[in-house]
Chain A
Amino acid sequence: AQSVTQLGSHVSVSEGALVLLRCNYSSSVPPYLFWYVQYPNQGLQLLLKYTSAATLVKGINGFEAEFKKSETSFHLTKPSAHMSDAAEYFCAVSETDSWGKFQFGAGTQVVVTP
Chain B
Amino acid sequence: EAQVTQNPRYLITVTGKKLTVTCSQNMNHEYMSWYRQDPGLGLRQIYYSMNVEVTDKGDVPEGYKVSRKEKRNFPLILESPSPNQTSLYFCASSLFGQGNTEAFFGQGTRLTVV
- A: residues with CB less than 8 A from B are 4, 6, 9, 31-32, 34, 36, 41-46, 49, 51-52, 90, 94-102, 104-107
Complex Cα distance A31/B100, Å? 9
24 A-B interface contacts by CB (under 8 A): A6-B42, A41-B107, A42-B107, A42-B108, A43-B107, A43-B108, A44-B43, A45-B105, A46-B102, A90-B42, A94-B99, A96-B99, A97-B98, A99-B97, A100-B50, A100-B95, A100-B101, A101-B33, A101-B48, A102-B45, A104-B35, A106-B40, A106-B41, A106-B42
| Nearest CB in chain B: distance from A104 CB, A | 4
CB of B99 within 8 A of CB of A97, answer yes
The count of chain B contact residues (Cβ–Cβ below 8 Å) is: 30
Across the interface, B100 reaches (CB within 8 A) one of A6, A41, A44, A49, namely A49
Complex Cα distance A44/B91, Å? 10
Are A101 and B107 also in contact (CB < 8 A) when A9-B40, A95-B99 are? no
Residues of A within 8 A of B96 (CB): 99-100
Residues of B within 8 A of A52 (CB): 100
Across the interface, A43 reaches (CB within 8 A) one of B4, B42, B98, B100, namely B4
Complex Cα distance A29/B5, Å? 34
